[in-house]
Structures are given as structure tokens and as C-alpha cells.
């Protein structure tokens, strides 16, 4: 099992927290495997300084449950299905 640290935009981060978003479309450049953990770090405009973009300090950890190879339609990309919630 590996841990993959990835950036995620604020609107997508919020959808993961609400349980609405359960998959990620990603470049297949990290040797993803079922059972691996994704630690998704919110990355976007800062609440108090909208012109400043960067890590907000928030993150959520999810476990990959299924990987769909999208090579036929999007070479080099995969769809990562996941389950989980906030990092402990």
C-alpha cells in the first residue's frame, strides 16, 4: 500500500467531504493500485486573500477501491474510484 499526495481544487474537495464525489480522473503516472491511499490536499485561492493561490492546509484521505484504465479514450489516464473521509 502506498500513499499518494495529490492537489485538489476547493469545489472538488468540498464534494469529497460531502460524499458526493467518489472518483478522480488522473494521469496514470504514479503506479496507483487498489488499496492505496490518496491524501487529497485542498489547493486554491485563500479565503482571506483570493489573489493568493496555494495549499489551504485542509486535506482528506481516501482509499482506492477500483481503477478504470482509460487508455482507449484518454491515453495515459485512469479513473480512480474511492471511499473514505477526513484524515485522522
Residue range of the domain that includes 25? 3-86
pLDDT band (50, 70, 90) for residue 86: low
Helix (H) or strand (E) segment spanning residue 10: helix 10-18
The per-residue pLDDT of the chain, averaged, comes to: 92
User: Is the pTM here over 0.85, yes or no?
Assistant: yes
CATH number where 72 lies: 2.30.130.30
Torsion of the alpha carbons at 15, 45, 60 and 71, rounded to the nearest 10: 70
- In 3-state terms, what secondary structure has residue 66? strand
pLDDT at 34 over 50: yes
| Total number of domains constituting the chain | 1
The neighbouring-strand residues paired with 42 are: 8
Amino acid at each position: 500500500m502506498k500513499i499518494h499526495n495529490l492537489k485538489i481544487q476547493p469545489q472538488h474537495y468540498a464534494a469529497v467531504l460531502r460524499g458526493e464525489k467518489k472518483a478522480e480522473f488522473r494521469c496514470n503516472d504514479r503506479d496507483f493500485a487498489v488499496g492505496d491511499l490518496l491524501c487529497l490536499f485542498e489547493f486554491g485561492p485563500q479565503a482571506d486573500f483570493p489573489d493568493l493561490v496555494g495549499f489551504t492546509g485542509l486535506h482528506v484521505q481516501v482509499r482506492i477501491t477500483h481503477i478504470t484504465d482509460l487508455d482507449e479514450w484518454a491515453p495515459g489516464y485512469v479513473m480512480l474510484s474511492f471511499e473514505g473521509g477526513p484524515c485522522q
